[in-house]
Amino acid sequence: MPKTQAQPQKKTPSSAPRKIYQGVMIVLITFLLLIILVLKMSIFKTYPVEGKKQKLSITNGETYTGFIDQLAEDKKVSFPLVLKLYRKIFIHDTLKAGVYEVTQGMSVRQVLDMVSNADNAQMSRLLVIEGTTAKQLFQTLRKDSLIHKTVVNLPTAELLKELNIPYDHPEGLFAPDTYFFDKGESDKKILTDLYQRQMKILNEAWEKRDPNLPYQNKYEALIMASIIEKETSVDRELGQVSGVFVRRLKLGMRLQTDPTVIYGMGDRYQGKISKQDLRTPTAYNTYTINGLPPTPIALPSKKAIEAAMHPDDSDSIYFVATGNGGHKFTSNLQEHNRAVQDYISVMRSKN
């Protein structure tokens, strides 16, 4: 039989390019789905609200970065880096201080957009920090765009007259705390409120004070409270510091407290006090004057006022910082000098 010639086989198109195409499409779709999932869990996630409405407070000086980091720390948002990127691209303004109302169903994106516009704020939040001065309080009020200015730019004497305050100096007369006011509230209303709160605290504490305190009146107790406030930030030490200063007054010793020197220096104080500063007389330098200074030196908290009325009953008349937080209280100069040397050693070891 004659040989049949083999027929040439037809070449089929290679499947490799198709597989590559399919692989690329799968990767792209997966990446797209991943992006959508991340956006849904970050930008478009529902902001958690307790109930139907919730207040959100933004303080002066707070930044978007800090705000987002805090939300992430509180487990209220996910993927904070995505939120920061969204803010950088789409929000071209800073965080605005105020109290905002977040309603149920709002997304994280809507909240981020809302707090960039002070017009969206429902209320004004004022933080009066314990131990700050009246001057600093007035500066805060002047800078707050949500507060209507009526008295804060007046000379001190006129400001006190407008507020019906029967004192010649504003220091110490306003209660430190966090307050919320309607947007557009006047500085006069705010300061009147803070003054009345402080006087209520002072009056109630004065009525319940310990016997035999070396104060001529409650204003002197307020002066003492302001010194205590500036000397320690440790709550458990407030009564001890009060006890030291009360005993010094009774013994006729000078208070010799650095915060009064600093207050008397005013704008001359640049972060450090020298031996010359301690020797330079001012009305507030308790290294050169006897007794209390003429006015408070800061806005004392309720805790400091209570401490001024209830000093501890130990025999300590000296105290010095430990260098590790808190103070060492001693009853005689020899022990005090040792405590000072210990403090110096601790500070040297840290340098």
Quick one: pLDDT at residue 235? 93
Question: Under a CB-based contact definition with an 8 Å cutoff, are residues 260 and 289 in contact?
Answer: no
pLDDT 10s digits, 223-238: 999 999 999 989 999 9
Q: Would you say residue 305 has pLDDT above 60?
A: yes
The neighbour count for residue 42, using CB atoms within 10 Å, is 21
Quick one: pLDDT at residue 9? 54
Listed residues 204, 234, 258: the one ending a domain: 204
**pLDDT band (50, 70, 90) for residue 68:** very high
List the domain range (segments joined by +) for residue 195: 126-204
Quick one: pLDDT at residue 250? 96
Question: Under a CB-based contact definition with an 8 Å cutoff, are residues 221 and 214 in contact?
Answer: no
How far is residue 191 from each of residues 198, 203, 242, measured CA to CA in Å? 11, 18, 28
Tokens of 285: 């330098």
pLDDT 10s digits, 324-338: 888 989 999 999 989
Separation CA 120–CA 114 (nearest Å): 6
Minimum mean pLDDT range among 53-57, 214-218, 296-300: 53-57
pLDDT 10s digits, 105-138: 999 999 999 999 888 888 878 889 999 999 999 9
- Cβ neighbors of 309 (< 8 A, separation 6 or more) are 205, 206, 208, 209, 210, 213, 221
Q: What is the pTM of this model?
A: 0.75
How many structural domains compose the chain? 3
Pick the more confident residue, 5 or 23: 23
Give the residue-averaged pLDDT of 241-262.
96
**Residues 266 and 346 placed together within one structural domain of the fold:** yes
**pLDDT band (50, 70, 90) for residue 50:** confident
Separation CA 293–CA 295 (nearest Å): 6
**Residues 289 and 338 placed together within one structural domain of the fold:** yes
- Cβ neighbors of 282 (< 8 A, separation 6 or more) are 261, 264, 265, 288
**pLDDT band (50, 70, 90) for residue 187:** very high
**Residues 246 and 316 placed together within one structural domain of the fold:** yes
**Residues 187 and 251 placed together within one structural domain of the fold:** no
Sign of the Cα torsion 99, 92, 149, 159 reads positive
**Residues 248 and 140 placed together within one structural domain of the fold:** no
**Residues 299 and 232 placed together within one structural domain of the fold:** yes
Nearest to 63 by CA among 79, 47, 83, 48: 83
Give the residue-averaged pLDDT of 164-172.
97
Question: Under a CB-based contact definition with an 8 Å cutoff, are residues 323 and 235 in contact?
Answer: no
Residue 189 lies in a domain: yes
Calculate helix-pair angle for 238-251, 302-309, nearest 10 degrees: 40
**pLDDT band (50, 70, 90) for residue 13:** low
Sign of the Cα torsion 275, 278, 281, 287 reads negative
Give the residue-averaged pLDDT of 194-208.
97
Separation CA 33–CA 26 (nearest Å): 10
Give the residue-averaged pLDDT of 274-283.
94
